[in-house]
Structure 1
Amino acid sequence: MKTKWFKHTLLTVLAVAVAFGSVSAASAASKLNGKIVINGSSALLPLTLQAANEFKKKNPKVKISASAAGSVTGPQSVRKGIADIGACDWDASLDVPGFKAFDGQVANKVAVIPFAAVVNKGVKATNLTTKQLQGIFSGKIKNWKEVGGDDAEIVVVNRAFGSGTRVNFQMKALDGTNFMSKGDNYKEVKSSGDMKTAIETTPNAIGYIDLVYVTDKMRALNINSYAPTEANIISGKYTVWAYGYYMTKGKPTGAVKAFIEYVQSKEFQNGSLKKLKFIPISAMKN
C-alpha cells in the first residue's frame, strides 16, 4: 500500500512540476515585449509577415512592423537606425557586385530563396538556356521565335537597381551578363509585387521573381532543362537561388533575437516557411 501511495504521490508531484514548468515557460514568453521594425527585401516579405503573425500570437506584447522597398534598403535602414532588422537577399556584411559591405552588421541566415525566370501565361517557351537568357535580358534576342516561341516581340521586365532578386538573378541565371536598360520593349519595376503584376498583365513578357509570388497567370521556366524545385536546388542541378538574411546592427538581443530565433526554428522552417515555397536552411549542405 505504501509503495502504491508513494508512486501515486510521485506521479502527482511530477505532473504538477511539468504543468508548473509549462505555465512558467508560457509566462516567460508572454513577458517578452518591445517593438521590432523590419525593412528591406520584398522577396522575403511574405515570409516576414507570416513569421510576425505567428510570433505575435506567442508574444502579444511585442509589436512588429514590416515593409519592403528592395534588399539594399534593409541594411541601409539598419545603418540609419530606423530599422532593427534589414531583410536582404545577400549577406550585406560582405562585398557583392555593385554593393560594398555594411560594416558592423551581422548577417542572420533565415531562408533559402528559389528564384525563377517567369513569363506571361501566353508565352509558349518552357525552357531557356543560360545563353538564351543572356541574349534576352541584354536585348540581343528580341523575338520569341528566336528561342522556339511565337513570332512576337519579347518584353523584358527588370527590377530596379538595389533589388536583391536582381543581384542574384544577374549573378546566377545570367552568369554576370549586364541587363539592357532602355527600349520600347523594356520595363523596370520596384518590387516583387510589381514584377508579379507586370508579368501577369503584359503579353509576351519575361522577368524573374521568387517562387512565393508565382501564380497561375504566369509560368516559371526551366533553366538549362531544370525546374526551380526544392529537389533540384538541394541536388545542385538548379542554381538560381540564394540565402535570405536578417541584417542587424551587431548581434541581435531581446525581442529581435527572439524573433530571429523563431524564424530559424524547426517549427517555422519546416512549417510555414516550406508552405510559402522557401526552403529550410538546414536542407543545404553549404
Structure 2
Amino acid sequence: MSLGFEWDFGAIVAALSVVIPFMAFVWEFVVVRRKRLGYRVQMDTLATDTAHAPSADVLARMHDDGRELDEPSFVLLRVENAGLTEIVEGDYLTPQNDWTGIRVTFRDRRVVGLAVTELSQPELRDFFITQDENGTREAEGFGITGDGDAGVINLPKVKLNTGAHYKVLAVLERSAGEPGERFSTPVFRADVSGRNNRWVRWASRLKLARTESHTFASRPALVGIALLTTAVLLQSSLALFWRAEPPPLDCVGGTLRLHGSTAFAPAVTEAAERYVELCGGKGAAIPVGPATFQGSTEGVNALERAGEEARVPVDAGLGGHLAFTDGRAVGNHPRLLARPIAYSLFTLVVNKDAEVQNLSSQQIRDIYAGEITNWSEVGGASVPIQLVNRHRGSGTRTALEERVLNGGGRPRAAVREATVADCAALARDEPGGCEVGRTPALLREVADVPGALGYSEAASAAAAGDVVRVRIDGVPATLDGVEDGRYPYWQIEFAYTYGEPPAGSIAAAFLRYLTDQGGKDVLRQFGDRPCSETRFPLLCEPA
C-alpha cells in the first residue's frame, strides 16, 4: 500500500524529529508523572561543619538523655506529589496492615529525633500525630526505628494532592564508622501503584523519583532530548552539505527490459541504476546483465519479438521494453517508433605496437579500403594492420561507414569483410580482419592483437586504458570538436519503442528521466550530449 510519499534518509530523520519529542513528552508528562512520589534531601550537614562562632558551639554539643551526641548532624527532607494525579493511601505499594509508606535509611547513623515542618496544607498534620485521652502522640506508621547500625525514619501513607508536600527535619548522630568519615547519602524506599486498568497500573508503578531543584528532567526525557538534538543537527547538516538527486517527478514501478547498442550500454546502465535507486519504493526494476545489450540490430529485433509475443494491438504500445541504437535502425520496422536521446562520441582505437596516434580522414579510408596494409605506410611501426570490426548492423560500424569512410570523392565505402572467423586466428605477419559482437570484446582484441585497429564509444575506450585512441585529422574525440564540425566520428543515439508506450508505463517514465530529468546528468557524465540541450531536440544535430 502506498502512502503517497517516498521514505528517503532525509524523510526518516524528519519523521524521527517529530516522533522522538512526542514520545519523550508522553513518557515524561503522561506515563512517568501520572503517579510520581518525589523527594529532595534539602540539607544533610554535620553540626561541626558550622562556622566556629561562639554561638555555634551549642549545636555541636547537643545531648540525648544527658549524653553528648557523637558527631551530630542535621537532615532536612522534602516529600512531594510530583505527578499529575493525587496520591492516596492505597497507592503506596506496601502491605495493607503496614501504615508506613516511605522508609528513609541512614547508614552508620542513628536518628535521635525528628519533626514535621512546612506542611503545604494544615490537614496533612493529621497523618503524623493523633490525639487520645493520653494526649498527643505519633500516628501509626510515623516514627523512628533502627536496622543494625542504620537509623530509619518511617513516614506514613500521606494523601497528597498534586503539588502538595511536607518536610521532615531530623537530628542524627554517628553509630558506626571512623570519626570524621563522610556519611553516605540517605536511601529512600517506596513505590506507588495504579489501580485502574492493567496498562496504567504498569505505567504507574514507578520508583520514588528524586526531584532535586537542579534536576532538569528524568533520564528517559534526557535521552529523548539528546536524540532530538542529534536528529535536528543531522537534518541540518544534510540540508546544508548534502544535495541528494531529487526523485523523478513521475516515478513508475514495474519491470523494464533493455536491449540494443553495446556502445551506449554503459550510459544507459548507469541511468537505469539511478532510476531504480530513486524509484525503488515504487517497485521499479530494470535488470541488466551480460546478455542485456547485444548490439543495435539485435536490440531492435529483440524489441520486435517482445511486442509480437505480447500481441500488442496496433493502436497500443508495449510499456516494458526499450531498445537503443547508434543511429537509426537498419531495415524496415513498421511497429517501432524512434526518439533521439543524445549524440555520442566514437573513436578509432589502435594497438600500442602500431605506434600511431593520429590519422587523416584519407588514411582511414585507404586503410579500410585495403590500400594501406602496414602501419609503416602512415609513419608507424612496421606491423601489418589487423582490422577488428563489429558485426554488420552494429551502430558503431554503421556510423564509421556513414560519417568517416564515405567522403573524399570515393564511391560509397564499407568496412571490408573479415578474413577469419576468430580474431585469435589472425596471422601476425600479414594483414587481415576479424569481427566481434560487442564493444568490450572489440577493445580486448585490439589490446591483445599487435597492429589491431578498431572503433568504440569514446568513454568506453578511455576506460579501457590498454588501447590508444586515434585522433582524426589531428582532432581528438570531444563534443567541442563535433559541434564546430572538425571531428566527424559521432552518431545520434535513438531509443526505440514498440508502438507508443502507455503514459503510465515504466518505459515512458524512464524515457522522460533520460531526456528531461536526472538522466541527462548521466549522459553528460559519459561524454554524450542530451538532445534536449541542442537547438533542435527532435533533430539532435550539433549546432
**Which bin holds the TM-score, normalised by the shorter protein?**
0.7 to 0.9
Name the structure with the higher helix share: 1
Which has the greater radius of gyration?
2
In the TM superposition, what are the counterparts of 1:87-166 in structure 2 within 5 Å? Answer: 87-92=324-329, 99-166=330-397
Contact kept, 8 Å, 1:234 with 1:283, in 2: the verdict is no
In the TM superposition, what are the counterparts of 1:179-198 in structure 2 within 5 Å? Answer: 179-183=415-419, 184=426, 185-198=432-445
Match for residue 178 of structure 1?
Answer: 414
Name the SS for the 2:398 alignment partner: helix
Q: Which moved more, 1:166-175 or 1:221-230?
A: 221-230
In the TM superposition, what are the counterparts of 1:80-91 in structure 2 within 5 Å? Answer: 80-81=305-306, 84-91=321-328
Contact kept, 8 Å, 1:40 with 1:75, in 2: the verdict is yes
Residues 34 and 226 of structure 1: is their aligned pair in 2 closer, same or farther, counting only changes over 3 Å? Answer: same
Picking from 490, 506, 526, the partner of 1:276 is 526
**Unpaired segments of 5 or more residues in structure 2?**
1-245, 308-319, 407-411, 420-425, 427-431, 536-540
Match for residue 271 of structure 2?
Answer: 51
Match for residue 265 of structure 1?
Answer: 516
**Unpaired segments of 5 or more residues in structure 1?**
1-24, 93-98
Name the SS for the 1:150 alignment partner: coil
Whichever residue aligns with residue 281 of structure 1, its letter is C
Whichever residue aligns with residue 257 of structure 2, its letter is V
Match for residue 489 of structure 2?
Answer: 240
Picking from 63, 79, 82, the partner of 2:304 is 79
RMSD: 2.1
Deviation at 1:51, TM superposition (A): 0.8
Q: Distance in 2 between matches of 1:204 and 1:218?
A: 11
Picking from 253, 257, 263, the partner of 1:33 is 253
Say whether residues 1:216 and 2:447 are aligned partners.
no
Deviation at 1:120, TM superposition (A): 1.4
Deviation at 1:26, TM superposition (A): 6.8
Say whether residues 1:69 and 2:318 are aligned partners.
no
Q: TM-score scaled to structure 2, two decimals?
A: 0.45
Number of positions where the alignment pairs a residue of Structure 1 with one of Structure 2: 254
Higher relative contact order (CA 8 A, sep 6+): 1
CA displacement 1:201-255 (0-9 Å, x = unmatched):
2221111111121132111111122211111011121121111111001222211
Q: TM-score scaled to structure 1, two decimals?
A: 0.82
Q: Distance in 2 between matches of 1:116 and 1:272?
A: 20
Name the SS for the 1:146 alignment partner: helix
Match for residue 157 of structure 2?
Answer: none
Name the SS for the 1:244 alignment partner: strand
CA displacement 1:66-115 (0-9 Å, x = unmatched):
411110112211211167111111223xxxxxx32311211122221111
Name the SS for the 1:59 alignment partner: helix
Residues 28 and 115 of structure 1: is their aligned pair in 2 closer, same or farther, counting only changes over 3 Å? Answer: closer
